[in-house]
Amino acid sequence: MIPFVDLKREYQEIGDEILRAIQRVIESGWFILGNELNQFEKEFADYLGVKYAIGVNSGSDALYLAVKALGIHSGDEVITVSHTFISTVDAIVRNGARVVFVDIDPETYTIDVDQLEKSITPKTKAIIPVHLYGHPADMEPIMELAEEYGLYVIEDASQAHGAEYKGKKVGTFGHLACFSFYPTKNLGAYGDAGAIVTNDAELADKLRMMRNYGSPKKYYHDFVGVNSRLDEIQAAVLRIKLKYLDQWNEKRRKIAKLYSELLDNSDVITPSEKEWAKHVYHLYVIRHKNRDKLQQYLSEKGIKTQIHYPVPVHLQKAYLELGYRVRLPITERISSEVLSLPMYPWLSNGEVESIANTVLEFIGR
């Protein structure tokens, strides 16, 4: 059996270090907003090349607070994609703003920059590009349009820790960028965690208060905030795993290369990497016309796969009820074709070969 993700293999590699770090926190008797988080925020900001990182409870909270920190509310519009994880879009709706969906580029599966400008209206306040599967969105034209129309940009980098656009890490382009440290992400905690990063000192201060009941100092509250903090145990785990991120991303890239070589010259569409991109393969996503049957076949052979995502956000029940009836032809077509093969740094070449061969076996039938 080859599982879709296997975090037990990660633990076999770094378990001793992780246990020591967790023990250090427990023995310190300090669990919320302490030294581990301060250090992690510094180290993560340095890793990316930004000034500030603010740890929060999840990637979803990071997105929600980012939209809120920019003062976006009802009557405003925010442009994003429908081919993403639901939280990207929920962050807009939870702030009372209206979502304007833009279709995706069929090669990178990220926002189609050629369709951006026509989606901008006088109500538009922000754009949220998603660096989906680990491939960066085309940031240069996005930032140019944002500048021209006076819009904010919030990057959703939840699947792209360490990915690069024109040699610079994603998360460093927008006014704000959001990361999830959900356990299976390229940089994952051992529980829920997330962060917002920025170069803007004022936004950083505001977000630090927002995640802590709007509090500049204990028992003083300047506005109504939330409780959304990255706890000390998770921060300690993340500090250790951050040291391995580049090395593990390289392993993902090698695995992706092997998959793509083995699946070349078949009617499977393999992921592409633009010349301006460094893909970090949070997911290795192929496309095939008979996706459902292929998934079934792989499953029967003990190979577990997933679909990211089977139903685009605008067609989810929650969104139909909100009146989002748009046509997004590429998004809608792709959701019936995509299939994510197992992808994690501890997959062996033998396993990758066996998965690819099983895919080819299915096609040959």
Rounded to whole angstroms, how far apart are CA atoms 20 and 38?
A: 19
- Minimum distance of ligand PLP from residue 313's CB (angstroms): 11
Stretch of residues binding ligand PLP (CB under 6 A), selected from 35-43, 84-92, 164-172, 289-297 = 84-92
**Interface mask toward ligand PLP for 215-254; x: CB under 6 A:** ----------------------------------------
188 binds ligand PLP (CB under 6 A): no
191 to 210, contacts with ligand PLP by CB under 6 A? 192, 194
129 binds ligand PLP (CB under 6 A): no
Strand (E) or helix (H) holding 277: strand 277-278
Is residue 324 within 8 A of residue 227, CB to CB? The reply is: no
**Interface mask toward ligand PLP for 30-69; x: CB under 6 A:** ----------------------------xxx---------
Beta strand ranges found along 91-211 (DSSP E): 98-102, 124-128, 152-156, 164-165, 168-169, 176-180, 194-198
139 to 178, contacts with ligand PLP by CB under 6 A? 156, 158-159
User: In the structure encoding, which two tokens stand for residue 199, read together?
Assistant: 């170069």
88 to 127, contacts with ligand PLP by CB under 6 A? 88
- Minimum distance of ligand PLP from residue 224's CB (angstroms): 22
316/354 with CB nearer ligand PLP: 316
Rounded to whole angstroms, how far apart are CA atoms 290 and 286?
A: 12
Torsion of CA 170, 173, 179, 184, to 10 degrees: -10
139/356 with CB nearer ligand PLP: 139
End-to-end Cα, the chain, rounded Å: 22
Tell whether omega for the bond before 309 is within 30 degrees of 0, i.e. cis. Answer: yes
Angle between helices 232-263 and 7-28 (to 10 degrees): 170
- Minimum distance of ligand PLP from residue 268's CB (angstroms): 23
* Contacting residues toward ligand PLP, per CB under 6 A: 58-60, 84-85, 87-88, 130, 156, 158-159, 180, 182, 192, 194
